Amino acid sequence: MLLHIPDVLTRAQVVQIRQRLDQADWVDGRATVGAQGAQVKHNRQLPEHSPVSQELGQLILDALAGNALFFAAALPLHTIPPLFNSYTGGEHYGAHIDGAIRSLPGGRRMRTDVSCTLFLSDPEDYEGGELIVTDTYGAHEVKLPAGDLILYPSTSIHHVEQVTSGTRVCSFFWTQSMVRDDWQRSLLLELDQNIQSLRARVGDCPELVGLTGHYHNLLRQWSEL
Ligand code: NI
C-alpha cells in the first residue's frame, strides 16, 4: 500500500518546524545507515539525539496521534522519533531498502513495517528530489505539498532523485505495525473506509454492525502486540 495522507501538519506547524530546521546544524546522512546505504546515500540529516530533533519529532508524533487515516493505515504499535533530512546541490539517495530493525529510545528494538516521509518543502521550492517507490505494480513517483505524508511498506526498494536546485527538507520515520503484513493492512484499511462511507450514506443498520464486527475479528486474528 502506497498511501498519500494530506494535511498531517498545518501550514503554521510547517512554518514553525522549518524556522527551527533552517537554523539547525546538519550532519552527513550516512551517520544512520548500514554498509549498503552508505554507498548510495548523499544528503544531510539532523543529529538523531539533538534537542531540536527530539522537540520537532515530538510535535510530529503528536500530530500523528490525532490523525485517523494514519492510524487506520499503519495500525501503529511503535513509531520511532521522527528524523529529518535535507537535500540540496545535486544530493540524492540511490536505490536501497530500509533496515528491518531499529532501536527505540531506551534501547528496545522494533521492526520496521511501515516507512513514512513527511514533506516540509513545497514542490515548487526545488527541482528533482522525487521519492521513487517500487512495488509489484512498478515505480511510483512521489512529490507532495509541505505538511503531507506518504506511507509505504518498508519492504519496498526506493530512492530519492537528485535535487538539482533549491532544497528538499523532509521528516522520515518508521512504524512497527500491529499487523506485520502489508496486504492484510491494505485489506483492513479498505474495509474500514468502506464501512465509514456506508455509515455516512445509510446510517447505522444491522449489516454495518456485522461488517464492523468482521473488521475487529480480522484485526483480532492478525494483530500481534
Ligand atoms: Ni529509505
Task: Kindly report the average pLDDT of the chain as a whole number.
Answer: 96
Q: How far is the CA of 115 from the centre of ligand 1 (A)?
A: 8
Q: How far is the CA of 218 from the centre of ligand 1 (A)?
A: 30
89 dihedral zone (left: phi>0; alpha: psi -120 to 50; beta): left
Q: Which of 82-86, 113-117, 135-139, 185-189 bottoms out in mean pLDDT, i.e. has the lowest?
A: 135-139
- What is the longest distance spanned by two Cα atoms in the chain? 59
Q: What CATH superfamily is the domain 3-177? A: q2cbj1_9rhob like domain (2.60.120.620)
Scan for cell 510535535, then name that residue.
Answer: 59
Q: How far is the CA of 178 from the centre of ligand 1 (A)?
A: 21
Q: How far is the CA of 113 from the centre of ligand 1 (A)?
A: 12
Q: How far is the CA of 98 from the centre of ligand 1 (A)?
A: 5
- Ion ligand 1 — residues with CB < 5 Å: 98
Q: How far is the CA of 116 from the centre of ligand 1 (A)?
A: 9
Q: How far is the CA of 214 from the centre of ligand 1 (A)?
A: 35
CB-CB contact of 132 with 140 (8 Å): yes
- Give which of 153, 158, 156, 216 is closest to 180, Cα–Cα: 153
pLDDT surpassing 90 at residue 33: no
The predicted model gives 11-19 an average pLDDT of 98
Q: Helix or strand or coil: residue 77?
A: strand
Q: How far is the CA of 16 from the centre of ligand 1 (A)?
A: 25
pLDDT surpassing 80 at residue 32: no
Scan for cell 521492526, then name that residue.
Answer: 111
pLDDT surpassing 90 at residue 36: no
pLDDT digits (tens, 9 = 90+) for 181-224: 999 999 999 999 999 999 999 999 999 999 999 999 999 999 99
Which CATH fold topology does 182-222 show? DNA Excision Repair, Uvrb; Chain A (4.10.860)
Measured CA to CA, the distance from residue 144 to residue 223 in angstroms comes to 31
**Exposed, middle or buried by CB within 10 Å (0-12, 13-18, 19+), for 62?**
exposed
pLDDT digits (tens, 9 = 90+) for 47-83: 988 999 999 999 999 999 999 999 999 999 999 999 9
What is the residue extent of each domain of the chain? Answer: 3-177, 182-222
Q: How far is the CA of 35 from the centre of ligand 1 (A)?
A: 13
Q: How far is the CA of 96 from the centre of ligand 1 (A)?
A: 6
Q: How far is the CA of 43 from the centre of ligand 1 (A)?
A: 12
End-to-end CA distance of the chain: 22
98 dihedral zone (left: phi>0; alpha: psi -120 to 50; beta): beta
- β-strand partners of 5: 149
Instruction: Give the pTM.
Output: 0.95
Percentage of the chain beyond pLDDT 70 is 100
Q: How far is the CA of 77 from the centre of ligand 1 (A)?
A: 20
Q: How far is the CA of 173 from the centre of ligand 1 (A)?
A: 9
